[in-house]
A and B are shown apart, each in its own frame.
Chain A
Amino acid sequence: MENIIQLDDVTYSYEEASTPTLNHISFAVQANQWVAIIGQNGSGKSTLARVLNGLLEPNSGQVKIGGMLLTEDTVWQIRQQLGIIFQNPDHQFVGATVEDDVAFGLENQGMKRSQMIERVQWALELVNMTDFAKRSPQVLSGGQKQRVAIAGIIALKPQIVIMDEATSMLDPQGRHDILLLIKRLQRELGMTVLSITHDLNEITQADQVIVLQKGNVLKIGNVEQIFADPTKLLSFGLQAPFTQRLQLDLQQHDVAIDSNYVTKQELVQKLWQLHLNT
Protein backbone atom coordinates (compact mmCIF):
# COMPACT_ATOMS: atom_id res chain seq x y z
CA MET A 1 0.00 0.00 0.00
CA GLU A 2 1.30 3.45 -0.83
CA ASN A 3 1.48 6.15 1.80
CA ILE A 4 -0.90 8.90 0.82
CA ILE A 5 0.26 11.15 3.64
CA GLN A 6 3.79 11.12 4.93
CA LEU A 7 5.31 13.45 7.50
CA ASP A 8 9.05 13.38 8.07
CA ASP A 9 10.36 15.13 11.15
CA VAL A 10 7.97 18.10 10.91
CA THR A 11 8.39 20.95 13.37
CA TYR A 12 6.21 24.02 13.58
CA SER A 13 6.14 26.81 16.13
CA TYR A 14 3.95 29.87 16.26
CA GLU A 15 5.91 33.08 16.57
CA GLU A 16 4.64 33.93 20.03
CA ALA A 17 5.01 30.42 21.46
CA SER A 18 8.06 29.41 23.48
CA THR A 19 7.79 25.70 22.75
CA PRO A 20 7.11 24.22 19.29
CA THR A 21 3.45 23.34 18.66
CA LEU A 22 4.54 20.40 16.55
CA ASN A 23 7.81 18.84 17.65
CA HIS A 24 9.61 16.54 15.16
CA ILE A 25 6.51 14.70 14.06
CA SER A 26 6.73 11.72 11.72
CA PHE A 27 3.99 9.35 10.64
CA ALA A 28 2.47 7.90 7.51
CA VAL A 29 -1.09 7.20 6.48
CA GLN A 30 -2.09 4.61 3.90
CA ALA A 31 -4.69 5.30 1.26
CA ASN A 32 -8.37 4.61 2.04
CA GLN A 33 -7.79 4.44 5.77
CA TRP A 34 -9.66 6.17 8.56
CA VAL A 35 -7.20 7.77 10.92
CA ALA A 36 -8.20 9.46 14.15
CA ILE A 37 -5.91 12.08 15.63
CA ILE A 38 -6.55 12.62 19.31
CA GLY A 39 -4.99 14.53 22.14
CA GLN A 40 -5.80 17.09 24.81
CA ASN A 41 -6.52 20.69 23.95
CA GLY A 42 -3.33 22.42 22.88
CA SER A 43 -1.64 19.21 21.78
CA GLY A 44 -1.22 20.55 18.23
CA LYS A 45 -4.02 18.68 16.44
CA SER A 46 -5.47 21.64 14.56
CA THR A 47 -2.03 22.99 13.75
CA LEU A 48 -1.26 19.62 12.20
CA ALA A 49 -4.33 19.90 9.93
CA ARG A 50 -3.20 23.32 8.79
CA VAL A 51 0.33 22.14 8.11
CA LEU A 52 -1.04 19.27 6.03
CA ASN A 53 -2.78 21.51 3.53
CA GLY A 54 -0.14 24.19 3.49
CA LEU A 55 -1.99 26.89 5.40
CA LEU A 56 0.98 26.84 7.76
CA GLU A 57 4.50 26.22 6.56
CA PRO A 58 6.58 23.93 8.78
CA ASN A 59 9.84 25.32 10.15
CA SER A 60 11.59 22.11 9.29
CA GLY A 61 10.78 18.65 7.95
CA GLN A 62 8.83 17.46 4.95
CA VAL A 63 5.19 16.85 4.18
CA LYS A 64 4.30 14.57 1.28
CA ILE A 65 0.74 14.26 0.07
CA GLY A 66 -0.02 11.64 -2.58
CA GLY A 67 3.69 11.29 -3.25
CA MET A 68 4.02 15.03 -3.89
CA LEU A 69 6.26 17.16 -1.72
CA LEU A 70 4.36 20.10 -0.20
CA THR A 71 6.04 23.31 -1.32
CA GLU A 72 4.89 26.74 -2.35
CA ASP A 73 4.66 25.56 -5.96
CA THR A 74 2.57 22.49 -5.24
CA VAL A 75 0.37 23.84 -2.47
CA TRP A 76 -2.63 24.65 -4.71
CA GLN A 77 -2.37 21.30 -6.42
CA ILE A 78 -2.28 19.57 -3.04
CA ARG A 79 -5.27 21.51 -1.77
CA GLN A 80 -7.27 20.05 -4.65
CA GLN A 81 -6.56 16.59 -3.28
CA LEU A 82 -7.15 17.42 0.34
CA GLY A 83 -10.30 18.94 1.79
CA ILE A 84 -10.82 20.15 5.34
CA ILE A 85 -14.16 20.29 7.11
CA PHE A 86 -13.87 22.74 9.97
CA GLN A 87 -15.55 22.90 13.32
CA ASN A 88 -18.03 25.72 12.94
CA PRO A 89 -20.11 25.46 9.76
CA ASP A 90 -21.41 29.02 10.24
CA HIS A 91 -17.93 30.36 9.71
CA GLN A 92 -17.18 28.50 6.48
CA PHE A 93 -20.03 29.55 4.24
CA VAL A 94 -19.01 31.75 1.36
CA GLY A 95 -21.99 31.24 -0.91
CA ALA A 96 -25.31 32.90 -0.33
CA THR A 97 -27.29 29.80 -1.22
CA VAL A 98 -26.54 26.15 -0.51
CA GLU A 99 -25.74 25.28 -4.13
CA ASP A 100 -23.68 28.42 -4.47
CA ASP A 101 -21.59 27.47 -1.49
CA VAL A 102 -21.04 23.95 -2.77
CA ALA A 103 -19.91 25.45 -6.09
CA PHE A 104 -17.39 27.81 -4.48
CA GLY A 105 -14.44 25.41 -4.58
CA LEU A 106 -15.28 24.40 -8.14
CA GLU A 107 -15.40 28.04 -9.20
CA ASN A 108 -11.91 28.42 -7.80
CA GLN A 109 -10.75 25.63 -10.08
CA GLY A 110 -12.28 27.45 -13.02
CA MET A 111 -14.56 24.53 -13.86
CA LYS A 112 -17.02 24.95 -16.73
CA ARG A 113 -20.51 25.92 -15.65
CA SER A 114 -22.29 22.92 -17.20
CA GLN A 115 -19.92 20.56 -15.44
CA MET A 116 -20.29 22.49 -12.21
CA ILE A 117 -24.06 22.16 -12.20
CA GLU A 118 -23.72 18.39 -12.51
CA ARG A 119 -21.10 18.17 -9.78
CA VAL A 120 -23.08 20.34 -7.35
CA GLN A 121 -26.15 18.21 -7.96
CA TRP A 122 -24.14 15.06 -7.34
CA ALA A 123 -22.61 16.35 -4.11
CA LEU A 124 -25.94 17.57 -2.74
CA GLU A 125 -27.52 14.21 -3.52
CA LEU A 126 -24.76 12.40 -1.65
CA VAL A 127 -25.38 14.39 1.50
CA ASN A 128 -29.14 14.28 0.94
CA MET A 129 -29.59 18.07 0.74
CA THR A 130 -30.98 18.42 -2.79
CA ASP A 131 -34.25 19.93 -1.54
CA PHE A 132 -32.35 22.76 0.14
CA ALA A 133 -30.28 23.82 -2.89
CA LYS A 134 -31.87 27.26 -3.26
CA ARG A 135 -32.02 28.08 0.46
CA SER A 136 -29.67 30.29 2.38
CA PRO A 137 -27.27 28.23 4.50
CA GLN A 138 -28.03 30.50 7.46
CA VAL A 139 -31.56 29.15 7.87
CA LEU A 140 -30.52 25.49 8.15
CA SER A 141 -30.03 23.45 11.32
CA GLY A 142 -26.56 22.64 12.63
CA GLY A 143 -26.48 19.15 11.15
CA GLN A 144 -27.76 20.37 7.78
CA LYS A 145 -25.17 23.15 7.73
CA GLN A 146 -22.39 20.67 8.38
CA ARG A 147 -23.77 18.46 5.59
CA VAL A 148 -23.59 21.41 3.21
CA ALA A 149 -20.03 22.08 4.30
CA ILE A 150 -19.22 18.44 3.59
CA ALA A 151 -20.87 18.65 0.17
CA GLY A 152 -18.67 21.66 -0.60
CA ILE A 153 -15.60 19.52 0.08
CA ILE A 154 -16.89 16.33 -1.55
CA ALA A 155 -17.75 18.25 -4.73
CA LEU A 156 -14.01 18.74 -5.21
CA LYS A 157 -13.56 14.95 -5.17
CA PRO A 158 -10.57 15.07 -2.84
CA GLN A 159 -8.56 11.93 -2.11
CA ILE A 160 -8.16 12.98 1.50
CA VAL A 161 -10.71 14.54 3.83
CA ILE A 162 -9.64 16.06 7.13
CA MET A 163 -12.35 16.60 9.73
CA ASP A 164 -11.10 19.21 12.17
CA GLU A 165 -13.50 18.53 15.05
CA ALA A 166 -16.20 18.68 12.44
CA THR A 167 -18.87 17.09 14.61
CA SER A 168 -18.06 18.73 17.92
CA MET A 169 -20.84 21.32 17.70
CA LEU A 170 -23.58 18.87 16.73
CA ASP A 171 -26.09 17.00 18.84
CA PRO A 172 -25.68 13.20 19.16
CA GLN A 173 -28.11 12.50 16.32
CA GLY A 174 -26.42 14.99 13.97
CA ARG A 175 -23.03 13.59 14.90
CA HIS A 176 -24.18 10.04 14.23
CA ASP A 177 -25.61 11.00 10.80
CA ILE A 178 -22.45 12.80 9.75
CA LEU A 179 -20.26 9.88 10.80
CA LEU A 180 -22.38 7.41 8.83
CA LEU A 181 -22.19 9.72 5.83
CA ILE A 182 -18.42 10.11 5.96
CA LYS A 183 -17.97 6.38 6.46
CA ARG A 184 -20.12 5.74 3.38
CA LEU A 185 -18.21 8.27 1.32
CA GLN A 186 -14.93 6.76 2.43
CA ARG A 187 -16.06 3.35 1.25
CA GLU A 188 -17.71 4.45 -2.00
CA LEU A 189 -15.16 7.01 -3.15
CA GLY A 190 -12.09 5.37 -1.67
CA MET A 191 -11.24 8.46 0.33
CA THR A 192 -8.71 8.66 3.11
CA VAL A 193 -10.20 10.25 6.24
CA LEU A 194 -8.22 12.05 8.91
CA SER A 195 -10.45 12.91 11.81
CA ILE A 196 -9.29 15.21 14.56
CA THR A 197 -11.64 14.58 17.41
CA HIS A 198 -12.53 14.01 21.04
CA ASP A 199 -15.55 11.95 20.10
CA LEU A 200 -15.37 8.28 21.11
CA ASN A 201 -17.68 7.06 18.35
CA GLU A 202 -15.56 8.78 15.78
CA ILE A 203 -12.42 7.18 17.17
CA THR A 204 -13.87 3.69 17.21
CA GLN A 205 -14.41 4.01 13.43
CA ALA A 206 -10.68 4.42 12.93
CA ASP A 207 -8.25 1.93 11.45
CA GLN A 208 -5.43 3.80 13.09
CA VAL A 209 -5.25 6.24 16.00
CA ILE A 210 -2.50 8.79 16.47
CA VAL A 211 -2.17 10.31 19.92
CA LEU A 212 -0.57 13.73 20.13
CA GLN A 213 0.70 15.20 23.35
CA LYS A 214 2.31 18.62 23.61
CA GLY A 215 3.33 18.52 19.99
CA ASN A 216 4.78 15.03 20.08
CA VAL A 217 3.43 11.78 18.71
CA LEU A 218 2.82 9.84 21.92
CA LYS A 219 1.40 6.70 20.44
CA ILE A 220 0.22 5.20 17.17
CA GLY A 221 -1.94 2.12 17.12
CA ASN A 222 -5.32 0.63 16.41
CA VAL A 223 -8.36 1.24 18.58
CA GLU A 224 -7.77 -1.80 20.81
CA GLN A 225 -4.20 -0.75 21.50
CA ILE A 226 -5.18 2.83 22.32
CA PHE A 227 -7.93 1.79 24.69
CA ALA A 228 -5.85 -0.98 26.26
CA ASP A 229 -4.92 1.09 29.28
CA PRO A 230 -8.02 2.95 30.52
CA THR A 231 -6.06 4.88 33.16
CA LYS A 232 -4.05 6.64 30.46
CA LEU A 233 -7.03 7.75 28.41
CA LEU A 234 -7.66 10.98 30.31
CA SER A 235 -4.17 12.16 29.46
CA PHE A 236 -5.05 11.53 25.79
CA GLY A 237 -7.95 13.97 26.14
CA LEU A 238 -10.41 11.10 26.23
CA GLN A 239 -12.81 9.45 28.55
CA ALA A 240 -12.86 5.64 28.55
CA PRO A 241 -15.59 4.18 26.31
CA PHE A 242 -18.82 3.13 27.97
CA THR A 243 -18.07 -0.60 27.63
CA GLN A 244 -14.76 -0.17 29.35
CA ARG A 245 -16.18 1.91 32.19
CA LEU A 246 -18.83 -0.72 32.71
CA GLN A 247 -16.18 -3.45 32.82
CA LEU A 248 -14.16 -1.48 35.38
CA ASP A 249 -17.25 -1.03 37.55
CA LEU A 250 -18.02 -4.74 37.28
CA GLN A 251 -14.44 -5.56 38.29
CA GLN A 252 -14.95 -3.54 41.43
CA HIS A 253 -17.89 -5.78 42.21
CA ASP A 254 -15.62 -8.80 41.77
CA VAL A 255 -17.09 -9.89 38.49
CA ALA A 256 -14.43 -11.85 36.64
CA ILE A 257 -14.17 -9.65 33.57
CA ASP A 258 -11.12 -7.96 32.06
CA SER A 259 -11.06 -4.29 31.18
CA ASN A 260 -9.78 -4.52 27.59
CA TYR A 261 -11.62 -2.47 25.01
CA VAL A 262 -14.50 -4.35 23.44
CA THR A 263 -17.44 -3.24 21.34
CA LYS A 264 -20.94 -3.24 22.79
CA GLN A 265 -21.79 -6.53 21.08
CA GLU A 266 -18.65 -8.18 22.41
CA LEU A 267 -19.44 -7.02 25.92
CA VAL A 268 -22.95 -8.41 25.70
CA GLN A 269 -21.43 -11.71 24.53
CA LYS A 270 -18.99 -11.74 27.45
CA LEU A 271 -21.68 -11.03 30.00
CA TRP A 272 -23.93 -13.65 28.48
CA GLN A 273 -21.12 -16.20 28.67
CA LEU A 274 -20.49 -15.30 32.33
CA HIS A 275 -24.17 -15.62 33.02
CA LEU A 276 -24.38 -19.05 31.42
CA ASN A 277 -21.33 -20.27 33.34
CA THR A 278 -22.70 -19.36 36.75
Chain B
Amino acid sequence: MMGKIIIGRYLPGNSLIHQLDPRAKFIATFLFVIIVFLANNWQSYVALLAFVLLAVHLSKISLRFFLRGIRPMIILILFTVILQIFFTTGGDPFWQWGILSLSTLSLTNGAYIFIRFLLIIFISTLLTITTTPLQMSDAIEAILKPLRYVHFPVDEVALMLSIALQFIPLLSDETTKIMNAQRARGVDFGEGGLIKQVKAIVPILIPLFISSFNIAYDLSIAMESRGYQTSEGRSKYRQLSWQSKDTWVLISFGLLAIILLVLRSY
Protein backbone atom coordinates (compact mmCIF):
# COMPACT_ATOMS: atom_id res chain seq x y z
CA MET B 1 0.00 0.00 0.00
CA MET B 2 2.66 2.51 1.06
CA GLY B 3 4.74 1.61 -1.97
CA LYS B 4 2.05 2.83 -4.34
CA ILE B 5 1.65 6.32 -2.93
CA ILE B 6 4.05 8.65 -4.64
CA ILE B 7 3.33 11.82 -2.69
CA GLY B 8 6.24 12.43 -0.36
CA ARG B 9 8.69 10.42 -2.42
CA TYR B 10 11.71 11.95 -4.06
CA LEU B 11 12.88 11.10 -7.56
CA PRO B 12 16.40 12.32 -8.26
CA GLY B 13 16.84 14.28 -11.43
CA ASN B 14 18.45 17.34 -12.88
CA SER B 15 15.60 19.16 -14.55
CA LEU B 16 14.77 22.84 -14.27
CA ILE B 17 12.20 22.05 -11.57
CA HIS B 18 14.76 20.01 -9.62
CA GLN B 19 17.19 22.92 -9.66
CA LEU B 20 14.75 25.49 -8.35
CA ASP B 21 15.16 26.84 -4.88
CA PRO B 22 12.96 24.76 -2.55
CA ARG B 23 11.58 27.97 -1.03
CA ALA B 24 10.33 29.07 -4.44
CA LYS B 25 8.73 25.70 -5.03
CA PHE B 26 7.14 25.67 -1.61
CA ILE B 27 5.66 29.14 -1.94
CA ALA B 28 4.55 28.44 -5.51
CA THR B 29 2.73 25.26 -4.46
CA PHE B 30 1.02 27.13 -1.69
CA LEU B 31 0.00 29.90 -4.09
CA PHE B 32 -1.28 27.38 -6.58
CA VAL B 33 -3.70 25.87 -4.08
CA ILE B 34 -5.25 29.33 -3.72
CA ILE B 35 -5.09 30.09 -7.44
CA VAL B 36 -7.00 26.90 -8.29
CA PHE B 37 -10.05 28.31 -6.53
CA LEU B 38 -10.06 31.37 -8.78
CA ALA B 39 -11.07 29.22 -11.73
CA ASN B 40 -14.81 29.11 -12.41
CA ASN B 41 -15.30 28.33 -16.10
CA TRP B 42 -13.92 25.87 -18.60
CA GLN B 43 -11.53 28.36 -20.19
CA SER B 44 -9.84 28.95 -16.86
CA TYR B 45 -9.56 25.22 -16.20
CA VAL B 46 -7.95 24.74 -19.60
CA ALA B 47 -5.44 27.46 -18.70
CA LEU B 48 -4.70 25.80 -15.35
CA LEU B 49 -4.35 22.37 -16.91
CA ALA B 50 -1.99 23.71 -19.57
CA PHE B 51 0.10 25.39 -16.89
CA VAL B 52 0.38 22.24 -14.77
CA LEU B 53 1.15 20.04 -17.77
CA LEU B 54 3.90 22.45 -18.74
CA ALA B 55 5.33 22.23 -15.22
CA VAL B 56 5.17 18.42 -15.31
CA HIS B 57 6.86 18.45 -18.69
CA LEU B 58 9.64 20.69 -17.37
CA SER B 59 10.32 18.24 -14.53
CA LYS B 60 11.21 15.55 -17.11
CA ILE B 61 9.19 13.01 -15.15
CA SER B 62 6.67 11.04 -17.20
CA LEU B 63 3.01 11.96 -16.88
CA ARG B 64 2.23 8.29 -16.48
CA PHE B 65 4.12 8.33 -13.20
CA PHE B 66 1.85 11.08 -11.87
CA LEU B 67 -1.26 9.27 -13.06
CA ARG B 68 -0.12 6.10 -11.33
CA GLY B 69 0.31 8.15 -8.17
CA ILE B 70 -3.33 9.23 -8.30
CA ARG B 71 -4.58 5.64 -8.45
CA PRO B 72 -4.58 4.84 -4.72
CA MET B 73 -6.56 8.02 -4.06
CA ILE B 74 -9.02 7.73 -6.91
CA ILE B 75 -11.81 6.17 -4.83
CA LEU B 76 -11.67 8.97 -2.31
CA ILE B 77 -11.76 11.58 -5.07
CA LEU B 78 -14.59 9.91 -6.98
CA PHE B 79 -16.61 9.54 -3.79
CA THR B 80 -16.38 13.28 -3.15
CA VAL B 81 -17.16 14.09 -6.76
CA ILE B 82 -20.22 11.82 -6.85
CA LEU B 83 -21.59 13.32 -3.64
CA GLN B 84 -21.07 16.77 -5.15
CA ILE B 85 -22.85 15.80 -8.37
CA PHE B 86 -25.92 14.34 -6.68
CA PHE B 87 -26.35 16.91 -3.95
CA THR B 88 -25.84 20.05 -6.03
CA THR B 89 -29.17 21.83 -6.35
CA GLY B 90 -30.03 24.61 -8.76
CA GLY B 91 -29.96 24.64 -12.54
CA ASP B 92 -32.41 22.60 -14.50
CA PRO B 93 -32.59 19.04 -13.13
CA PHE B 94 -33.24 16.40 -15.80
CA TRP B 95 -33.40 13.65 -13.20
CA GLN B 96 -34.62 13.76 -9.64
CA TRP B 97 -35.19 11.26 -6.83
CA GLY B 98 -35.83 12.57 -3.33
CA ILE B 99 -33.03 14.95 -2.47
CA LEU B 100 -30.81 13.55 -5.21
CA SER B 101 -30.80 15.38 -8.51
CA LEU B 102 -28.81 15.57 -11.69
CA SER B 103 -28.44 18.63 -13.85
CA THR B 104 -25.97 20.03 -16.35
CA LEU B 105 -24.85 22.40 -13.63
CA SER B 106 -24.18 19.61 -11.12
CA LEU B 107 -22.33 17.55 -13.74
CA THR B 108 -20.06 20.43 -14.71
CA ASN B 109 -19.54 21.23 -11.03
CA GLY B 110 -18.50 17.64 -10.42
CA ALA B 111 -16.09 17.74 -13.34
CA TYR B 112 -14.56 20.97 -12.04
CA ILE B 113 -14.03 19.50 -8.60
CA PHE B 114 -12.44 16.44 -10.12
CA ILE B 115 -10.02 18.60 -12.08
CA ARG B 116 -9.25 20.69 -9.01
CA PHE B 117 -8.30 17.61 -7.06
CA LEU B 118 -6.20 16.38 -9.91
CA LEU B 119 -4.39 19.68 -10.31
CA ILE B 120 -3.65 20.10 -6.62
CA ILE B 121 -2.38 16.54 -6.31
CA PHE B 122 -0.26 16.96 -9.43
CA ILE B 123 1.38 20.14 -8.27
CA SER B 124 2.03 18.96 -4.70
CA THR B 125 3.42 15.70 -6.04
CA LEU B 126 5.63 17.77 -8.31
CA LEU B 127 6.92 19.60 -5.24
CA THR B 128 7.76 16.51 -3.21
CA ILE B 129 9.05 14.49 -6.11
CA THR B 130 11.62 17.08 -7.17
CA THR B 131 12.65 18.20 -3.68
CA THR B 132 14.65 16.17 -1.16
CA PRO B 133 13.24 15.99 2.37
CA LEU B 134 16.30 17.91 3.47
CA GLN B 135 15.64 20.78 1.04
CA MET B 136 12.07 20.72 2.18
CA SER B 137 12.98 21.16 5.83
CA ASP B 138 15.41 23.94 4.85
CA ALA B 139 12.63 25.66 2.94
CA ILE B 140 10.22 25.36 5.86
CA GLU B 141 12.85 26.78 8.17
CA ALA B 142 13.46 29.73 5.86
CA ILE B 143 9.77 30.43 5.42
CA LEU B 144 9.08 30.24 9.16
CA LYS B 145 11.95 32.63 9.91
CA PRO B 146 9.74 35.72 10.34
CA LEU B 147 8.05 33.92 13.24
CA ARG B 148 11.23 34.52 15.26
CA TYR B 149 9.90 37.97 16.00
CA VAL B 150 7.01 36.45 17.92
CA HIS B 151 9.51 34.24 19.82
CA PHE B 152 8.66 31.08 17.93
CA PRO B 153 11.71 28.72 18.21
CA VAL B 154 12.26 28.40 14.46
CA ASP B 155 15.79 26.94 14.64
CA GLU B 156 14.85 24.35 17.24
CA VAL B 157 11.81 23.28 15.22
CA ALA B 158 13.96 23.09 12.09
CA LEU B 159 16.57 20.98 13.87
CA MET B 160 13.85 18.69 15.21
CA LEU B 161 12.35 18.35 11.76
CA SER B 162 15.72 17.58 10.22
CA ILE B 163 16.56 14.97 12.89
CA ALA B 164 13.10 13.42 12.62
CA LEU B 165 13.41 13.07 8.84
CA GLN B 166 16.82 11.60 9.18
CA PHE B 167 15.87 8.99 11.74
CA ILE B 168 12.89 7.63 9.78
CA PRO B 169 14.97 4.99 7.97
CA LEU B 170 16.75 3.98 11.17
CA LEU B 171 13.47 3.61 13.07
CA SER B 172 11.84 1.72 10.25
CA ASP B 173 14.79 -0.69 10.23
CA GLU B 174 14.37 -0.98 13.97
CA THR B 175 10.66 -1.76 13.54
CA THR B 176 11.37 -4.54 11.07
CA LYS B 177 14.01 -5.95 13.38
CA ILE B 178 11.64 -5.94 16.36
CA MET B 179 8.80 -7.43 14.29
CA ASN B 180 11.00 -10.25 13.10
CA ALA B 181 12.32 -10.86 16.60
CA GLN B 182 8.74 -11.06 17.93
CA ARG B 183 7.69 -13.30 15.04
CA ALA B 184 10.53 -15.62 15.94
CA ARG B 185 9.02 -15.79 19.40
CA GLY B 186 5.59 -16.64 18.05
CA VAL B 187 3.71 -13.34 17.74
CA ASP B 188 1.25 -13.27 14.81
CA PHE B 189 0.93 -9.97 12.97
CA GLY B 190 -2.01 -9.18 10.71
CA GLU B 191 -4.07 -12.17 11.79
CA GLY B 192 -7.19 -12.63 13.87
CA GLY B 193 -9.86 -10.08 14.74
CA LEU B 194 -9.40 -6.39 15.38
CA ILE B 195 -8.70 -6.74 19.09
CA LYS B 196 -6.20 -9.51 18.53
CA GLN B 197 -4.41 -7.44 15.90
CA VAL B 198 -4.22 -4.40 18.14
CA LYS B 199 -2.86 -6.57 20.94
CA ALA B 200 -0.19 -7.88 18.59
CA ILE B 201 1.06 -4.33 18.06
CA VAL B 202 1.96 -3.85 21.72
CA PRO B 203 5.09 -6.04 21.56
CA ILE B 204 6.31 -3.83 18.71
CA LEU B 205 5.38 -0.48 20.17
CA ILE B 206 6.97 -0.84 23.58
CA PRO B 207 10.44 -1.95 22.42
CA LEU B 208 10.28 0.68 19.67
CA PHE B 209 9.57 3.43 22.21
CA ILE B 210 12.34 2.23 24.48
CA SER B 211 14.80 2.07 21.65
CA SER B 212 13.77 5.59 20.55
CA PHE B 213 14.48 6.83 24.07
CA ASN B 214 17.89 5.19 23.95
CA ILE B 215 18.68 6.71 20.57
CA ALA B 216 17.52 10.13 21.79
CA TYR B 217 19.74 9.82 24.85
CA ASP B 218 22.80 8.78 22.84
CA LEU B 219 22.17 11.47 20.24
CA SER B 220 21.73 14.23 22.79
CA ILE B 221 24.98 13.27 24.49
CA ALA B 222 26.80 13.14 21.16
CA MET B 223 25.37 16.54 20.23
CA GLU B 224 26.31 18.11 23.52
CA SER B 225 29.82 16.74 23.40
CA ARG B 226 30.19 18.31 19.95
CA GLY B 227 29.40 21.68 21.44
CA TYR B 228 25.67 22.08 20.82
CA GLN B 229 24.15 24.38 23.43
CA THR B 230 21.23 26.20 21.86
CA SER B 231 20.54 27.46 18.41
CA GLU B 232 21.87 30.87 19.31
CA GLY B 233 25.26 31.82 17.95
CA ARG B 234 25.33 28.96 15.47
CA SER B 235 26.40 29.41 11.91
CA LYS B 236 24.94 27.45 9.04
CA TYR B 237 26.73 25.12 6.65
CA ARG B 238 23.91 24.46 4.20
CA GLN B 239 22.72 27.48 2.34
CA LEU B 240 19.91 27.95 -0.11
CA SER B 241 20.60 30.24 -3.04
CA TRP B 242 17.78 32.19 -4.62
CA GLN B 243 18.34 32.72 -8.34
CA SER B 244 16.57 34.73 -10.98
CA LYS B 245 14.77 31.63 -12.26
CA ASP B 246 13.16 31.27 -8.84
CA THR B 247 11.82 34.80 -9.10
CA TRP B 248 10.52 33.95 -12.57
CA VAL B 249 8.65 30.95 -11.24
CA LEU B 250 6.83 33.12 -8.74
CA ILE B 251 6.14 35.73 -11.43
CA SER B 252 4.67 33.05 -13.68
CA PHE B 253 2.34 31.96 -10.90
CA GLY B 254 1.34 35.61 -10.47
CA LEU B 255 0.62 35.85 -14.18
CA LEU B 256 -1.47 32.69 -13.99
CA ALA B 257 -3.53 34.25 -11.23
CA ILE B 258 -4.08 37.39 -13.33
CA ILE B 259 -5.12 35.32 -16.36
CA LEU B 260 -7.62 33.45 -14.23
CA LEU B 261 -9.01 36.68 -12.81
CA VAL B 262 -9.51 37.99 -16.35
CA LEU B 263 -11.15 34.74 -17.46
CA ARG B 264 -13.48 34.87 -14.45
CA SER B 265 -15.27 37.90 -15.81
CA TYR B 266 -16.28 36.09 -19.02
Q: Does A3 contact B (CB under 8 A)?
A: no
Chain B residues, CB < 8 A from A103: 237
Contact B225 A79 (CB under 8 A): yes
Contact B235 A113 (CB under 8 A): yes
Chain A residue total in the interface (Cβ 8 A)? 40
SS class, residues of chain A in contact with chain B: helix
Contact A80 B227 (CB under 8 A): yes
Contact A105 B166 (CB under 8 A): no
Contact B222 A136 (CB under 8 A): no
- Kindly identify which residue among A76, A93, A111, A117 contacts B229, using a CB–CB cutoff of 8 Å: A76
How many residue pairs link A and B with beta carbons under 8 A? The number is: 92
Q: Does A91 contact B (CB under 8 A)?
A: yes
Interface of chain A residues 82 through 99 with chain B (CB within 8 A) = 83-84, 86, 88, 90-97, 99
Nearest CB of B to A17, in Å: 17
Please encode chain B, from 235 to 246, with 1 for each CB lying within 8 Å of some chain A CB and 0 for all others: 111110000000
Nearest CB of A to B25, in Å: 18
- Kindly identify which residue among B165, B214, B215, B224 contacts A96, using a CB–CB cutoff of 8 Å: B165
Please encode chain A, from 227 to 265, with 1 for each CB lying within 8 Å of some chain B CB and 0 for all others: 000000000000000000000000000000000000000
- Kindly identify which residue among B219, B224, B236 contacts A107, using a CB–CB cutoff of 8 Å: B236
SS class, residues of chain B in contact with chain A: helix
Chain A residues, CB < 8 A from B234: 107-108, 110
Chain B residues, CB < 8 A from A90: 170, 215
Nearest CB of A to B78, in Å: 38
Please encode chain B, from 241 to 260, with 1 for each CB lying within 8 Å of some chain A CB and 0 for all others: 00000000000000000000
Q: Does A127 contact B (CB under 8 A)?
A: no
Chain B residues, CB < 8 A from A96: 133-134, 137, 162, 165-166
Contact B166 A93 (CB under 8 A): yes
Q: With CB as the reference atom, state the residue of chain A lying closest to B239.
A: A113
Q: What is the bound-complex CA distance between A184 and B137, given in angstroms?
A: 38
Q: Does A55 contact B (CB under 8 A)?
A: yes
Q: With CB as the reference atom, state the residue of chain A lying closest to B134.
A: A96
